[in-house]
Amino acid sequence: MRPGGEPLLAVRDLTVRFRTEDGPVLAVDGASFEVAGQETVALVGESGCGKSVTAMALTGLLPPNATVSGEVRFGGDNLQQRSRSALRAIRGREIAYVFQEPMTSLNPVLTIGRQIAEVLHRHQRLRGAPARRRAVELLDLVGIPLPARRLREYPHQLSGGMRQRAMIAMALACTPKLLVADEPTTALDVTVQAGILDVLRTLSAETGTAVLLITHDLGVVADIADRVVVMYAGRVIEEADVDDLFARPGHPYTRGLLDAVPNPARRSDGSLREIPGRVPVLASSPDACTFADRCSRADSTCRVHRPELVPGPAGHPVRCWHPLAPVVAGERR
């Protein structure tokens, strides 16, 4: 995508299969995308379309019943070929994660300070006063007031929003090159969400950390992403710069997602317009468009031929036989 130089993260043809009691599940189906240094990329899609699995696959975090193929190039080398211990050294130091559940993602019997110190010690052999100083600095960075005092507190003494900030502080402890944030605001109150998004936004500006933001909230995407990768049933179905995507969605699914955003300016009752139907759980990759069953534009081609991710009418890649033509601004309802 980006001209000049190798991107920070390049995922090529990533495929993840799970062996389950109900048979095989194809969770990610040949996904390819890139994240450049200092860029914020949003990975969006409905529940179950493979976003979290993609994120976990990057550093080998999937359970043993998963089979992963494809390539994950990070800073020039293929993580898929790295040993377990090499991946462990990358996790938390080069690629750090923040998960959805701030209420349960912190160890309840260790103070916030101890948990940050642990990461610092693990990856940077930092201890004692320097580690403490760094921890205070980190809590300050993520906007936790009275950081020195918070360090001595236990997770249950912090609110959900403060815990998520602490999680972000832990993730940033070793100034990773890439922060993977998997629905970091979903479990939080709307009022608290904005604060967390602020932190994510300023952090990439201040620390130069690239962010892969996983979400199904397009409001969040519009707020902080530079680029958007849309997934559906394990496949990447559209990819564009954020303004481009919002202005000229090419895939009917993307359009459906955009229409589902509660936008008071657009729909006076503020209700969501859901896309009818659900994301299918596939056992194998069909030679068809996986969205065809839910798509009003689908025809016989869509059901028997696999669309490729190719530049659409708006110029950015779309995986659709009948992509939408760009609409003139203001024409959409």
Ligand X SMILES: Nc1ncnc2c1ncn2[C@@H]1O[C@H](COP(=O)(O)OP(=O)(O)OP(=O)(O)O)[C@@H](O)[C@H]1O
Q: Which residues bind Mg ion (CB under 5 A)?
A: 52
Q: How many angstroms separate the CA atoms of 41 and 229, rounded?
A: 7
Q: How far is the CB of 115 from other proteins (least distance, A)?
A: 9
Tell me the per-residue interface mask from 10 to 49 with other proteins, x by CB under 8 A, - otherwise: ----------------------------------------
Rg (CA), the chain: 21
The alpha helices in 106-189, defined as continuous H runs, are 112-124, 128-141, 147-150, 160-172
Q: How far is the CB of 157 from ligand X (least distance, A)?
A: 28
User: Rounded to 5 degrees, what are φ and ψ at 213?
Assistant: -100, 120
User: From the CB of residue 105, how many other CB atoms can be counted at a distance below 10 Å?
Assistant: 17
Q: How far is the CB of 196 from other proteins (least distance, A)?
A: 16
Q: How many angstroms separate the CA atoms of 245 and 326, rounded?
A: 10
Residues contacting 221, CB < 8 A, separation 6+: 42, 44, 213, 215, 228, 242
DSSP, collapsed to helix, strand or coil, labels residue 186 as coil
- Is 154 an interacting residue with respect to other proteins (CB under 8 A)? yes
Q: How many angstroms separate the CA atoms of 255 and 276, rounded?
A: 13
Burial 19-38 (b: 16+ CB within 10 A, else e): eeeeeebbbbbbbbbbbbbe
- Is 18 an interacting residue with respect to ligand X (CB under 6 A)? yes
Of 51 and 123, which CB lies nearer to ligand X in the complex structure? 51
Q: How many angstroms separate the CA atoms of 170 and 117, rounded?
A: 9
Q: Which does 273 bind (CB under 5 to 8 A by kind): Mg ion, ligand X, other proteins, none?
A: none
| 166, two tokens | 């602490």
Of 40 and 52, which CB lies nearer to Mg ion in the complex structure? 52
Q: How many angstroms separate the CA atoms of 114 and 145, rounded?
A: 18
- Is 25 an interacting residue with respect to ligand X (CB under 6 A)? yes
Q: How far is the CB of 232 from ligand X (least distance, A)?
A: 10
Binding piece for ligand X, criterion CB under 6 A, among 19-27, 118-126, 155-163, 253-261 = 19-27
Q: Which does 303 bind (CB under 5 to 8 A by kind): ligand X, other proteins, Mg ion, none?
A: none
Which has the closest alpha carbon to 277: 304, 295, 261? 295
Q: How far is the CB of 46 from Mg ion (least distance, A)?
A: 10
Of 184 and 250, which CB lies nearer to Mg ion in the complex structure? 184
> Rounded to 10 degrees, what is the CA torsion of 129, 133, 135, 140?
160
> Looking at this protein, which amino acid is placed at residue 63?
P
User: By rule CB under 8 A, what count of residues binds other proteins?
Assistant: 31
Of 88 and 303, which CB lies nearer to other proteins in the complex structure? 88
- Is 184 an interacting residue with respect to ligand X (CB under 6 A)? no
Q: How far is the CB of 213 from ligand X (least distance, A)?
A: 13
- Is 303 an interacting residue with respect to other proteins (CB under 8 A)? no
Tell me the per-residue interface mask from 87 to 126 with other proteins, x by CB under 8 A, - otherwise: -xxxxxx--xx-x-x--xxxxxxx-------xx--xx---
Q: How many angstroms separate the CA atoms of 14 and 86, rounded?
A: 20
Tell me the per-residue interface mask from 50 to 79 with ligand X, x by CB under 6 A, - otherwise: xxxx---------x-x--------------
Q: Which does 65 bind (CB under 5 to 8 A by kind): ligand X, other proteins, Mg ion, none?
A: ligand X
- Is 281 an interacting residue with respect to ligand X (CB under 6 A)? yes
Which residues contact other proteins (rule: CB under 8 A)?
59, 61, 85, 88-93, 96-97, 99, 101, 104-110, 118-119, 122-123, 154-157, 167, 170-171
